[in-house]
Amino acid sequence: MTGGAAATGLVVGAHGRHVMVEAEGGVRTRCHTRGKKSDCVVGDRVEWQRAGDEGVIERIAERRNLLFRQDEVRSKSFAANLDQLMVLVAVEPMYAETQLTRALIAADTAGIPAVIVLNKVDLPGAGAARERLAPYRAMGVAVHEVSLKADGAAAIAVLTPLLAGRATLVLGPSGMGKSTMINRMVPSAAAQVGEISQALNTGRHTTTTTTWYWLDPARSSALIDSPGFQNFGLRQLDAAALTQHMPDLRKHAGACRFYNCSHLHEPGCGVREALERGEISPSRYRIYQELHEELSATRY
């Protein structure tokens, strides 16, 4: 039957103009958006109308937040209405601190709380990995440790309270253990992915689309898996606003002699003085320099 009153639902999968919408009772319907471009992302609350066996998205409800990345060419949205971002890194392979920083800045810009999970702490390099994360702990980011493969039960015990009652997007480069985490926390993950991929005609799922997984029968906790951790552009930010989203630098920026200090070369810079005193890590300051240069480049 076509037409009738608009229904409400949650977008739990998206691919191109097609999305999977879940109603309150858990029934899922393949829907499409009007026009050629889709503005829907996973996590959106929408109003839709049935059109035959499918549905048409009529309206996207106002979002609490939206996590996205932006480079010189385009913007890529991860998900909307998130309660938390979880960045998964590992002892091996060595994670890129620049990418970790970029994800945390994007979350802070969107007003989304973030946590870091360090995986594979059973490996010999755990001490060095902890040391690299010390500046993040010092600036107030919670860091949790797990060994998803070596001790799955203990990992679940750590992760379950972190995820309870929240919609959490997990980001992590290849090799960090994201698939292992999802399979541990969501035993039905493969079946859910298959259902969404088949409905959206995306073929065999290779983590190319964002997917929403419920963690409990009451549907109060969710884990959202998204690809695209590499090349995490922050072109939505102005270079002058960068320190506002880096807590360790922000703490000292108020001590600068000049209100518009770039923290790169001006005399009386509170940030560089803190760096010299060892209160800001050299790696974090190098990342700031790189990002400032990138964001100061001419935009086309």
Q: Which among 46, 87, 98, 83 has a CA at the least distance from the CA of 221? A: 83
Q: Any bridge partners for residue 30, and if so which?
A: 20
- Contact 136/143 with Cβ under 8 angstroms? yes
Task: For the beta carbon of residue 238, count every other beta carbon within 10 angstroms.
Answer: 10
Q: What domains are defined for the chain?
A: 7-60 (2.40.50.140), 66-225 (3.40.50.300), 239-296 (1.10.40.50)
Do residues 165 and 136 make contact, with C-beta atoms less than 8 angstroms apart?
Answer: no
How, if at all, do strands 45-51 and 7-15 pair?
A: antiparallel
Q: Does the reported pTM lie above 0.85?
A: yes
| Known binding residues for Zn(2+) | 256, 261, 263, 269
Contacts of 26 (CB under 8 A, 6+ apart): 219
- What φ, ψ does residue 59 adopt, rounded to 5°? -160, 145
Annotated binding-site residue numbers = 119-122, 172-180, 256, 261, 263, 269
Q: pLDDT in tens for each of the 300 residues of the chain?
A: 355 678 999 999 987 788 999 998 899 999 998 876 678 999 999 999 998 889 999 999 999 999 998 887 778 889 999 999 999 999 999 889 999 999 999 999 999 999 999 999 999 999 999 999 999 999 999 999 999 999 999 999 999 999 999 999 999 888 899 989 998 998 776 655 556 666 666 544 444 578 899 999 899 999 999 876 767 889 999 999 999 999 999 999 999 999 999 999 999 999 999 999 999 999 999 999 999 999 998 554
Closest residue by Cα to residue 209 from 237, 231, 228, 230: 228
- Average pLDDT in the chain: 89
Annotated binding site for GTP: 119-122, 172-180
